[in-house]
Structure 1
């Protein structure tokens, strides 16, 4: 089942389309799996990838497009007023309210939703401080009720991880099939040459509090190894101040291009990932390069890292414990690590996604 899902009309729906990140990459992979489908988004950010023919909602013509938190209360209305056109299958990519979408008025439409996470703003504000803002603190209970009520028409859910499947059960009372998101493992495995000498540790991602980049620097200090911090985010100034106080060199690479990131993955002794993620694409990219991962025993790492074979998972947040794991990781087999990463390829994702849609669409 590809393209128009065995002759059926398909609509693909995503929240907002920003500079390409994890959820946007999943939506692009969905578009490749169903190339004849129509695409809908609430709006596209100015720095989003061009050349993609996705239709925007009326929210794109309002100031609300500049504030996701402010727009959240009216997103359910936007998802019910996108178009009068009906489709045989509507497949949403949801991390806020996209799973509540309804298009047209046909009673025969099959609604399916691939969920990155139930809206963290609403259900898991401990992971996302934006849920505690003044705009959302009051209406959160009403929005949670709306989230459940407006999604009763969904015929089937898929979750990007067992972690998210458990949230779907807990918050919405629904089950889901786990389909891990696609990772471009071929690109990261295709770098020329052998892995580097492992003379430094690496942290990659958004520099925001729950990613624990401060802990990454402290682990490197405990391990006595230089560390490269790659990415960007609002914690940059605080991280740079911390870097001045530790004994090891800390190198910041702001928004490195993909080629440079691949080079950094391949040269690192280990990727440090002491965060609780829903899935975590970055650790899989590192493993595709043959680089072991040292992180917390929780969230998506439980599905992506084979403890003792492709990295080490710890319950402790003590930098000394992580430093010991870094030393142990030096003995892991890079080829075994890279081979494991292949199980999260884009091809595997497309096969599992289209099989799920075929099963659910009947």
Structure 2
């Protein structure tokens, strides 16, 4: 371990009564400063305050020590700089994470964290919350990053390893129906659906005087499958300004595309949480023309009373009520999304905010703690 020295786990009282007096570990893939899966991991850790917290590595800007994160040996290698190159050795890293056995392990997994083994199956109860079976490995067509030539050869071997090394998992939870169906399809396992937590109270709190909502908004990491280039085309077709908030490797290409359209395109690089709330509350609509497993950003926007215009697929089928809190479009034609933008005046901001409350943090805490308690009695 690289963050603190290893020691025997200490059994202590946790926030889930059936785990009182039992040793507990919570594990997660890599940890960056801000991200949806990291927020889920921290929410799980809050329910289990005396659990050990393990990650493969923490990014340099993540407060690893403040959060008590223990990193694997991968953190001391150059592989931490390339998730694609690190994938083939991740199962080994999880199997050599710690020599200490635990009574209960809760993994937060979007790659191979669910293969971690911290004790024999007959003693250790392993529950896994899944953001998605590794998309690089199982569904590369969903996320174009998985189509890298570096992954083509080892993909079949990684699929076999993923299945073989996860047989000891006792129960799965999925962050959406989309992911539950993927778990069934790829792993032949059942899962309960527990939607991730969203801080709806924060995004519903007015950031200042009410704004005129004159622009469209796109939020997220600037990578190909998020379709920010399509958002630019939608804004041009709708004749409205667009604000693009986030960061990522597509920045230069997106700026070139923005320079070729006849509407103002503004780039907000790595906005703070407070600034993001302002952007949500000032937007006419959030554009989200991407296929996501769940999608926390659309829920945040709805908490601010902002409707969502997105693809009729994936997690949006669970987070957006078509015709009430936004419009779901069955195509990637900019004109179709622009037509939906013109209809947002039909929607009620109060109804949109009300719907977002069904994804509040307290809902997640109740569902997650109940699931853990039921599986560990």
**What TM-score results when the alignment is normalised by the length of structure 1?**
0.97
Tell me which residue corresponds to 2:97: 82
- Find the aligned partners of 1:305 and 1:128 in 2 and give their Cα distance: 22
- Residue 251 in 1 paired to residue 253 in 2? no
Tell me which residue corresponds to 1:156: 171
User: Do the aligned partners of 2:125 and 2:170 also contact (CA within 8 Å) in 1?
Assistant: yes
Please identify, of 93-102 and 120-129, the stretch whose mean Cα deviation from structure 2 is larger.
Answer: 120-129
User: Do the aligned partners of 2:200 and 2:300 also contact (CA within 8 Å) in 1?
Assistant: yes
Tell me which residue corresponds to 1:48: 62
- Residue 146 in 1 paired to residue 155 in 2? no
Tell me which residue corresponds to 2:47: 33
Could you list the runs of 5+ residues in structure 1 that have no partner in the other structure?
A: none
Tell me which residue corresponds to 2:20: 6
| Equivalent position to 1:95, from 110, 130, 140 | 110
Tell me which residue corresponds to 2:29: 15
| Equivalent position to 1:132, from 130, 140, 147 | 147
- Find the aligned partners of 2:213 and 2:146 in 1 and give their Cα distance: 39
Q: Give the C-alpha shift of residue 114 in structure 1.
A: 0.3
Alignment of 1:190-229 (within 5 A): 190-193=205-208, 195-229=210-244
- Find the aligned partners of 2:144 and 2:327 in 1 and give their Cα distance: 29
- Residue 189 in 1 paired to residue 176 in 2? no
- Find the aligned partners of 1:131 and 1:292 in 2 and give their Cα distance: 31
> Per the alignment, in what secondary structure is the counterpart of residue 330 of structure 1?
helix
Tell me which residue corresponds to 2:3: none
Tell me which residue corresponds to 1:317: 332
User: Do the aligned partners of 2:231 and 2:289 also contact (CA within 8 Å) in 1?
Assistant: yes
User: Do the aligned partners of 1:231 and 1:253 also contact (CA within 8 Å) in 2?
Assistant: yes
- Find the aligned partners of 1:311 and 1:129 in 2 and give their Cα distance: 27
> Per the alignment, in what secondary structure is the counterpart of residue 346 of structure 2?
coil
User: Do the aligned partners of 2:103 and 2:119 also contact (CA within 8 Å) in 1?
Assistant: no
- Find the aligned partners of 1:64 and 1:238 in 2 and give their Cα distance: 27
- Find the aligned partners of 1:219 and 1:71 in 2 and give their Cα distance: 37
User: Do the aligned partners of 2:16 and 2:369 also contact (CA within 8 Å) in 1?
Assistant: no
Please identify, of 154-163 and 236-245, the stretch whose mean Cα deviation from structure 2 is larger.
Answer: 236-245
> Per the alignment, in what secondary structure is the counterpart of residue 159 of structure 2?
helix
Q: Give the C-alpha shift of residue 319 in structure 1.
A: 1.6
Please identify, of 131-140 and 35-44, the stretch whose mean Cα deviation from structure 2 is larger.
Answer: 131-140
Q: Give the C-alpha shift of residue 106 in structure 1.
A: 6.2
**Number of residue-to-residue matches in the alignment:** 362
Q: Give the C-alpha shift of residue 131 in structure 1.
A: 2.5
- Residue 337 in 1 paired to residue 352 in 2? yes
Could you list the runs of 5+ residues in structure 2 that have no partner in the other structure?
A: 1-13
Q: Give the C-alpha shift of residue 19 in structure 1.
A: 2.1
Tell me which residue corresponds to 1:346: 361
> Per the alignment, in what secondary structure is the counterpart of residue 60 of structure 1?
helix
Residues 170-205 of structure 1: per-residue CA shift (max 9 Å, x gap): 100001000011111111011245642121111111
Distance change >3 Å, CA 246–CA 106, structure 1 → 2: closer
Distance change >3 Å, CA 334–CA 60, structure 1 → 2: same
- Find the aligned partners of 1:243 and 1:151 in 2 and give their Cα distance: 45
